[in-house]
Amino acid sequence: MKVKVLFFASLREQLGTGALELELPAGVTTVGALRAHLRARGGAYESALGDKRALRMSVNQDMVPPSAPLAAGDEVAFFPPVTGG
Amino acid sequence: MKVSVQREDFDLSREVRAVSRSAAVGAVASFVGLVREVKMTLEHYPGMTERAIAAIVEEARARWRILDCTVIHRYGELSPGDQIVLVAVAAAHRGDAFAACEFIMDYLKTRATFWKKEHRAEGASWVEARAADDEKAERWQQ
């Protein structure tokens, strides 16, 4: 299953990229599992996506909890808590 | 109802006039947020930001009697004194206009996908989200 992954703000800077196209292994079926999958890349991914980091996530531009399921073609995003207004 | 995420500045009086056109409007509450003290860059998530703000406005419409509403939020490079955000709510009576305007701002602070980066003399840094903003949004759920 292929998905698009976006990163914003401090997370984008730490990872050095704002967007990835990923082919997910069979076991990665939720947003939380995708976060763990990305963390396993090591380096900046391991530290920036660590469990202690408060991150928000969205699927197809709706904010979701880590348990949210993924489907082929989804646009998934990870980002820090928002600071607009 | 109008939602705009834009680089350009906005004109408060023009936006207030625009939501006041209906003869049924008896009250308009508006809020303008300004950049304080330091230069900043505002990043956002194009597409999701507009969706999130539109959902907040819909929620406000379900709670209060709103006749019209405009939300404008800027992104890009901003300097102290610049306008960042406008919420203008028109209603028949002030109670609905005041409450909906504050509700939209409180929700926008915690749900609209914007991130501020401040540029100080000692360097640039991303603004941390404040727990107080979460609490302000949560009190509408009580």
Q: How many whole angstroms separate alpha carbon B60 and alpha carbon A28? A: 37
B115 strand-pairing partners: B43
pLDDT of A28: 96
Spatial separation of the C-alpha atoms in residues B94 and B113, rounded to whole Å: 29
User: Are B1 and B91 spatial neighbours (Cβ–Cβ below 8 Å)?
Assistant: no
Write out pLDDT tens, residues A15-73.
999 999 999 999 999 999 999 999 999 999 999 999 888 999 999 999 999 999 999 99
Record the pTM. Answer: 0.93
DSSP B30-55: EEEEE--SSEEEEEE-TTHHHHHHHH
For residue range B95-109, list pLDDT tens digits in order. Answer: 999 999 999 999 999
Residue B133 banded pLDDT, cuts 50, 70, 90: confident
In this complex, is the C-beta atom of B34 within 8 Å of any C-beta atom belonging to chain A?
no
Contacts of B58 in chain A (CB under 8 A): none
- Name the residue facing A82 among B85, B112, B117 (closest C-beta): B112
Residue pair B19/B70 in contact (Cβ under 8 Å)? The answer is yes
CA angle B71, B48, A78 (to 5 degrees): 130
Query: Position B91: which residue type?
Result: A
Contact (CB<8Å) A9/B43: yes
- The reported pLDDT for the residue numbered B131 is 83
C-alpha B113: how far from chain center: 12
pLDDT digits (tens, 9 = 90+) for B19-75: 999 999 999 999 999 999 999 999 999 999 999 999 999 999 999 999 999 999 999
Residue of chain A minimizing CA distance to B40: A84
